[in-house]
Structure 1
Amino acid sequence: MPDGRRFGSYEVTVLIDGVYKAPIEHLAHASSETVRDAAVAAWAEPTVDMDVNLFLLRGPDGVTLVDAGTGPFWGPQLGLGRAALAGAGVQPEDVKRVLLTHLHGDHALGLFADDGAYFPKAEIVVPKPDLDFFGKSALKETVPTYRRGGFDIAARLLATYGERVKPVPGGPVLPEIEAIAMPGHTPGHFGYLIGKGAERLVLWGDLVHAPALQLDDPDFCFIYDADAAQGAASRRAIFARAAEERWVASGGHVSGFVHVERAGDVWRFTRA
């Protein structure tokens, strides 16, 4: 069981749900197909492998999660977050709330059991702009097939958790936890800023998938992004703010805790 780190009133632990292997052909670029094609040709492996994380927060009023992993729905190489929670001594009924960064399967499918709610007592905090978009079934046919999963998740979330679904527009969601809009990956993609004082933690969801590429060129992304240019702008803005304010950072596909530093015209992660 990894050790937790304290940020304000919360002890935060990274739990690994597994490793997602994104086909290198799914790489995209917000401004240059030529740059994208060169990067694909130069990549030494058929996939870009990335950790899939969820986060356990222990605070004054109990257990909160940021994201929930895949559950058993994406195959045996993923869904390990449930065992990690059990290893931390957390049972499903202990979870008081889940803060979702966005409505994609590797972040939200872990909310569901085969026949109902996996977390029977939890409130689900969801970005309102994401729920507003994915909650409109008429929009499903307007997006590519590989980006339609959010519509099914939104419908299942509302049917399963009902009044325990709490859409939030951004801003403070709990004492010492603020939702920050980071749109692009999805229309309402959020990060969460946790703690107070000099050391705070930003959990930025899917702002970053492939640091080896996106730190040198934030225009790199994957086809899963709803708006590649908006996602790149969010990356640049959050990298700059994290560096200036010396936030500790992590996310759905970042290994451990990092600091963001500007290195000339590019960015670097250092271990925090």
Structure 2
Amino acid sequence: MNAPSLSIGDFEVHILKDGIYRAPIGDVIHARGEEARRSALDAWGRPEFAVDVNCFALDGPHGLWLIDTGAGTAWGPAYGKAPAALRDAGFSAGEVSIVLLTHIHGDHALGLFEGDKARYPNARLLVPQGDLAYYGDRAILDATPPEKRSSFRTVAKLREVYGERVEAFEPGPVLYGLSAIDLPGHTPGHSGFLIRGDPETLLVWGDVVHLDTLQLADPAVGFNYDQDPGLAMRSRRHALESAAGENWLIAGSHITGIHRVERRGEGFAFSEESNA
């Protein structure tokens, strides 16, 4: 089955579903403390959540680009579906000329590898400078508990496998038709990508939101895998306010489909309109 797609400017954007991420609802945190957290969990009313793990293929005038790559085979059989989705969309791994990462968590970056080889052998990798600097710093690595070093290992493997093809980007224009938006907090360099067209513009916002029903209504809801929860909350509100105010379409690594954001009361919601 072909991947859902949407035309934005000079790009055909294909959503590639890599798998489903499942986690206990106990991973939820709240910026206003435990009472607000319990209220959010009561509103959710379920013991766990399951969300999409998405990547995005951009077919444009300068070649085939990917935003994120999924978990590959590193996280088990529930993941690793993105390459097949790419083939279903009519492309091969060898055609990918650029891979952009929103951040270097495993469900976004480990799909770059096929064992110890590059899954996308002809691709340049564009990685947020903030993530490369932080997770590439030996002193920070040495001060980090072993169980929290996976992103450091990912950066090391990126450099080992892709070598000089690993490049850093800063917020602002990155490639033709595409700009990076600084949305830190989930990781130091966590970024979204703005794809401008006429009349539509699409923001691919990475991990700004995991549970739309909770976090749009209350952006203070976060997760314990946000490295800086307060900063992640501010980035989430900034992305939601920008998307609502500018009438952008949005897509997310853990959001099903493509949506618009509207203000609703003290929070936000997806509008009834859905494009994919």
Establish whether TM, by shorter chain, passes 0.5: yes
How far does residue 149 in structure 1 lie from its aligned partner after superposition?
Answer: 1.6
- State the match for 1:56 in structure 2: 57
Q: 1:179 to 1:105 in 2, by over 3 A?
A: same
Write the distance in 2 (CA, Å) between the matches of 1:138 and 1:94.
38
Write the distance in 1 (CA, Å) between the matches of 2:160 and 2:63.
25
Kept in 2, the 8 Å contact 1:147–1:224? The answer is no
Matched, 1:91 2:92: yes
What is the RMSD computed on CA atoms of the aligned residues? 1.5
- State the match for 2:212 in structure 1: 211
Question: Which deviates more from structure 2 when the two are superposed, residues 85-94 or residues 231-240?
Answer: 85-94
Structure 1 segment 1-272 matched on structure 2, within 5 A: 1-40=2-41, 43-143=44-144, 147-270=148-271, 271-272=274-275
Name the SS of the counterpart of 1:56 in structure 2: strand
Gaps of 5+ in 2: none
- The CA deviation string for residues 160-179 of structure 1, in whole angstroms up to 9 with x for no partner, is 11110110111111111000
Kept in 2, the 8 Å contact 1:71–1:109? The answer is yes
How far does residue 190 in structure 1 lie from its aligned partner after superposition?
Answer: 0.4
Which amino acid in 1 is paired with 2:86? L
Write the distance in 1 (CA, Å) between the matches of 2:41 and 2:248.
32
- The CA deviation string for residues 113-145 of structure 1, in whole angstroms up to 9 with x for no partner, is 112111101000000011100111321354465
Write the distance in 1 (CA, Å) between the matches of 2:166 and 2:206.
19
Kept in 2, the 8 Å contact 1:70–1:108? The answer is yes
Kept in 2, the 8 Å contact 1:146–1:224? The answer is no
Which amino acid in 2 is paired with 1:24? I
Kept in 1, the 8 Å contact 2:102–2:127? The answer is yes
Write the distance in 2 (CA, Å) between the matches of 1:129 and 1:24.
29
Kept in 2, the 8 Å contact 1:27–1:220? The answer is yes
Write the distance in 2 (CA, Å) between the matches of 1:228 and 1:144.
19
**Identity of aligned pairs, percent?**
44
How far does residue 74 in structure 1 lie from its aligned partner after superposition?
Answer: 0.6
Kept in 1, the 8 Å contact 2:44–2:214? The answer is no
Kept in 2, the 8 Å contact 1:31–1:229? The answer is no
Query: What is the aligned residue count?
Result: 272
Which amino acid in 2 is paired with 1:2? A
Q: 1:38 to 1:3 in 2, by over 3 A?
A: closer
- The CA deviation string for residues 193-243 of structure 1, in whole angstroms up to 9 with x for no partner, is 002333100000000001111011111111110111101101111111111
Question: Which deviates more from structure 2 when the two are superposed, residues 87-96 or residues 9-18?
Answer: 87-96
Gaps of 5+ in 1: none
